Structure 1
Amino acid sequence: MGITPMDINNKEFKKSFRGYDIDDVDDFLEQVVEDYEKLFKENGALREKMATLSEKIEHYSKIEMTLQNTLVLAQGAADQAKSNSQKEAELIIKNANDTAQRIIDQAHTEVVRITSEYEKVKKEFQLFKSKYKNFIQTQLDILSEIDDEEDESSDSTADDAKEASKTNNVVDSD
């Protein structure tokens, strides 16, 4: 370490003939001691302040590093969450599309089945209609024949009755 204010204050010089005025030298040394002591104390205070500031800088550097690490972790977590959300959204969309396609396929199959069933029922109805028409026509033909037979039978019965009546008249006349 360098010279202290006490070193300056305790320093004694040899006396020589024709040297400096002792009172002037003592006054000057007193002034130097006061100024040096003031500077020495100020230097000590500045060193303490510098040590305190250095500790604070180190503390703030640690906080900054912690914040940076936290930000990196938070950014990583945010990126991971975003990625997971995007994957989940894609999966939901895929599932929705698959479900929609399955519903469309089922609806298409159902439309084909219903159309086929409709065509089958339509053909069966046409066949039934045709058979029923033929049945009705046959029944009408039978009824027509019965009417014709009744007409013939009635004509023949009327002729028989006329003849029987004539025969009765002839027999009565005798």
Structure 2
Amino acid sequence: MVLSAADIHNKKFSTKMRGYNIDEVNDFLNQIIKDYQILKEENDQLTAKLKQSSDALSYYDDLKGSLNQSILVAQEAADNVKQTADHQAQQTIAAAQNKADELLSAATQQANQVLAESSKKAAAVVVATNDYRDSIKTFRTKMIAMLQTQLEFANRSDWTELLEGSDYHQFQEINDAVKQLDSLRSNSVESESNQSLPKRKQRSEYAEPTVLIFPNGEVRPI
């Protein structure tokens, strides 16, 4: 049993002859009581503080456990979120890659079609240009041959005989002579065209009609 200050203060000692001085013993006991009381109070305070520290330590231990559990739960949730995000990111990347491949394929196909159509149009333009150039060359050749034929026809001696001769005094006779010259001219032009000119591919829509004017004022197309 732990002694208290009151136990020390109330302690009674028996007296004997030639024993200790009672006053000195009492003074010493009083000092012991004071010191003991101080030590007891300090011990009680330390005990209370120790209990508070123990309670706080227990609280922090419990809090530590809760925090550890929360950390584990948070870590698990973070791992799940990370896995979900990674999976969604992979799906998004795959979908974007597929979409990009589709767009690239469509653009490439469209570009190839445009190039093919452009090549066909360019080839058609080249062919049309060559045909047009050939038509112009043919028309030029025919025109030169026709002009040469007309020049030869205009330089025939029959014209001189018709214009300067004195054998034709009647209009009917002159008209018959003109028809004869016209027949000769037509045969000459047709023969020259068949021999010198290639077969006409297409008549130029811009060509002016060629006419022949006779001395009597008659105009006839060639």
2: CA distance between counterparts of 1:58 and 1:71? 19
Q: 1:68 offset after TM fit, Å? A: 0.9
* Number of residue pairs the alignment of both structures matches: 160
Residue of structure 2 in register with 1:23 after alignment: 17
- TM-score, structure 1 normalization: 0.68
Partner of 1:19: none
RMSD of the alignment, in Å?
3.5
The whole-number CA distance in structure 1 between the counterparts of 2:99 and 2:12 is: 108
Deviations 1:1-58 (A, max 9, x none): 899775634x58xxxxxxxxx522xx25949x74995698466665555444433322
Q: Does 1:8 align with 2:1?
A: no
1:1-174 map, 5 Å: 6=10, 8-9=12-13, 23-24=17-18, 27-28=19-20, 30=22, 34=26, 37=29, 41=33, 49-163=42-156, 166-171=157-162, 172-174=164-166
| Structure 1 residue identity aligned to 2:12 | I
Q: Which moved more, 1:133-142 or 1:93-102?
A: 93-102
Partner of 1:15: none
CA deviations 1:117-136 (Å, max 9, x no partner) are: 11111111121122222212
Q: Distance in 1 between matches of 2:8 and 2:115?
A: 124
Change (3 A) 1:88 1:81: same
| Alpha-carbon distance in 2 for matches of 1:113, 1:136 | 34
CA distance in structure 1 between the aligned counterparts of 2:50 and 2:10, rounded to whole angstroms: 34
**What amino acid does structure 2 have at the position aligned with 1:170?**
E
Question: How far, CA to CA, are the matches of 1:6 and 1:126 in structure 2?
Answer: 129
Give the CA deviation at 1:100: 3.1
Change (3 A) 1:49 1:173: closer
TM-score (norm 2): 0.56
One-letter amino acid of the structure 2 residue matched with residue 57 of structure 1: L
Amino acid at match of 2:96: I
Cα gap change, 1:7/1:92 in structure 2, threshold over 3 Å: closer, same or farther?
Answer: closer
More helix, by proportion: 1
Q: CA offset at residue 152 of structure 1?
A: 2.2
